[in-house]
């Protein structure tokens, strides 16, 4: 016959485990629900971050094109700035002029300080400052595609 103390200890252990299990069952369910909620919130936050980044890219592109006349009054002009911008883009004065909406000769005059741009041209210059090299080259390509083809006369 087993010792009564051992039996008594086993019974107390069994009852204690049962009581602990019933007490922690609610906590386990709540913890699992919290984990699901946290995972859902993380997914939602990730979606919002990607959407915000997409919208910022779109606004950045639109903002570079929308410089008003009041902004052109604030824009500073230096001939060195035109030179450095054109060189950083790696394009000729004629191509830079196409981006701004003037001739290459006008860009040459601006770079050498013999003339200054008008207000409308200052706003165009300000929008060009925000362009990167790739975007400038793609805009030039688009301008070339849209330009009417010249016909050569046969003699």
| β strands within the chain, DSSP E | none
106 neighbors 115 (Cβ within 8 angstroms): yes
Reduced to 3 states, what is the DSSP secondary structure of residue 1?
coil
Whose tokens are 């883009």? That residue is 89
Considering the domain delimited by 69-143, tell me its CATH architecture.
Answer: Orthogonal Bundle (1.10)
pLDDT at 153: 65
Angle between helices 93-100 and 104-112 (to 10 degrees): 100
- If 0-12 CB within 10 Å is exposed, 13-18 middle and 19+ buried, where does residue 49 land? exposed
Q: One digit per residue, pLDDT tens: the chain, 155 residues?
A: 578 989 999 999 999 999 999 989 989 999 999 999 999 999 999 999 999 999 988 886 655 555 454 454 577 888 888 898 889 889 998 999 988 889 989 999 999 989 988 888 888 888 888 888 898 888 888 888 877 666 666 65
Measured distance CA(26)–CA(34) in Å, rounded: 12
């Amino acid at each position: 016959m087993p010792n009564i103390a051992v039996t008594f200890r086993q019974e107390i252990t069994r009852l204690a485990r049962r009581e602990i299990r019933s007490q922690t069952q609610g906590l386990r369910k709540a913890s699992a629900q919290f984990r699901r909620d946290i995972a859902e919130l993380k997914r939602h936050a990730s979606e919002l971050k990607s959407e915000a980044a997409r919208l910022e890219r779109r606004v950045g592109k639109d903002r570079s094109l929308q410089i008003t006349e009041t902004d052109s009054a604030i824009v500073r002009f230096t001939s060195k700035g035109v030179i450095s911008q054109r060189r950083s883009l790696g394009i000729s004065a004629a191509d830079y002029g196409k981006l701004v909406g003037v001739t290459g000769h006008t860009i040459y005059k601006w770079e050498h300080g013999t003339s200054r741009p008008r207000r409308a041209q200052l706003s165009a210059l300000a929008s060009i400052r925000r362009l990167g090299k790739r975007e400038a080259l793609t805009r030039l390509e688009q301008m070339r595609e849209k330009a009417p083809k010249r016909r050569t006369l046969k003699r």
